[in-house]
Amino acid sequence: MSGTSLDGVDVVLADLRVTTAPLLLGTCYYPYNDDLRETLLLLHQSGYDELHRAAMLSNQLSRLYAKATTDLLERTGVLAAQIVAIGCHGQTIRHCPEPEKRYTIQLVNAALLAELTGITVVADLRSRDIAAGGQGAPLVPAFHEAVFKSSSRHRVIVNIGGIANITNLDPHHATTGFDCGPGNVLMDAWCLQHTGRNYDQNGQWAVTGRIIPALLDALLSDPFFAQAPPKSTGRDLFNLRWLEKKLQFSEESPEDVQATLLQLTVISIAKSIDTHCLGAEEVYICGGGGHNSLLINQLAEVMSGKKVALTDRLGITIDWVEAFAFAWLAQQAILRKTGNLTAVTGAKGSRVLGAIYPA
């Protein structure tokens, strides 16, 4: 998995033979270097020779995915021949769920990845849902349902990556889920622009600032937040250009803006849970945002009537839930089982997701 945050590649080795109790056998993380990250960011906008640049990046990423895969196998003593498939999400550079557009692009050369690893690859996991009238995202709620749903407790899973998404696991109703707004994407971009650091560790910079109420109101006034699910989003909407249009005064200090962006993430998550997850008792956080102690503490404060914890408590460490989900989605594809939840994506029916590239 390589997500909206553009920080690197998460790889997991998953044993899914017992579907009710999947096992995490090994993990590794390969960070993107600054050049690769900047090149990927540039491809989020139209530019010169972008088809060629996208193809070259797909090859580069696939070689990185292959190296990460083979390194993890060597580290765990597992042979490539023992692996049924690699589930590879690819790197999203465009996500346009609007009905008049409705397409999504993830960079990966799946054929090259299969060739380099000698392992069957399942990729292009979003397109079939979109073809069926869905938004192609979020896809992780189906995995959350399979591994985190309780028969007695109403749980909500919040994945805080670049974008934040919510899975509503009500034991008495069908699972729902949706993207609720920016997770780390705006905070990371603002931090990089003003401090040179890729992210604000533990909110240490944000805590020095004060929330700007007028700015927070302006940010929350975006129609996306009032839109009813199903809904999904990405850097196509939430980016520095979007933020700069909302800034009202030249004297707004960077640290105050950072504090406000953190509060935007907190409030958009909390309001979404209050509105669309009525009766929720437990909220479990995963994704990179789980490392931001200020963010987690403020979420817990706002949702004081609910138990707030990390998914570590449910048996899967926060850093590996999403990669684990795409291993599970690959298994669904190999077994010709459906991988989307229509209540989440809005597709007109359940579909088998992904294109299979045999070894």
Measure CA 258 to chain center: 21
H or E stretch including 157?
strand 155-160
What would the DSSP string read from start to end of 286-302?
ESGGGG-HHHHHHHHHH
- 358 touches 115 (CB < 8 A): no
Q: What is the pLDDT of residue 155?
A: 98
Q: What is the pLDDT of residue 250?
A: 65
Extract the residue ranges of the chain whose pLDDT is less than 70: 249-250
Angle at 142 between CA 29 and CA 99, to 5 degrees: 100
Q: Find out whether 87 is annotated in a ligand binding site.
A: no
Question: Interhelix angle for 213-220 vs 254-276, to 10°?
Answer: 50
Alpha helices of the chain — where are they, by DSSP H?
34-42, 50-76, 110-117, 127-131, 140-148, 185-195, 213-220, 223-226, 240-246, 254-276, 293-302, 321-334, 342-345
Q: Find out whether 188 is annotated in a ligand binding site.
A: no
Indicate the pairing of strand 155-160 with strand 282-286: parallel
First vs last C-alpha separation in the chain: 20
pLDDT in tens, 252-305: 899 999 999 999 999 999 999 999 999 999 999 999 999 999 999 999 999 999
Q: Which domains does the chain have, with CATH numbers?
A: 8-136+320-357 (3.30.420.40), 140-318 (3.30.420.40)
Size of the chain, expressed as the number of residues it contains: 359
What tokens appear for 120 in the block? 């069957």
Q: Find out whether 4 is annotated in a ligand binding site.
A: yes
- Residue 149 C-beta-side C-alpha neighbours within 13 Å: 19
Residue closest to 129 by CA, chosen among 12, 230, 245? 230
Q: Find out whether 151 is annotated in a ligand binding site.
A: no
Q: What is the pLDDT of residue 21?
A: 83
Q: Find out whether 7 is annotated in a ligand binding site.
A: yes
Q: Find out whether 6 is annotated in a ligand binding site.
A: yes
Q: What is the pLDDT of residue 252?
A: 87
Q: What is the pLDDT of residue 249?
A: 66
Q: Find out whether 34 is annotated in a ligand binding site.
A: no
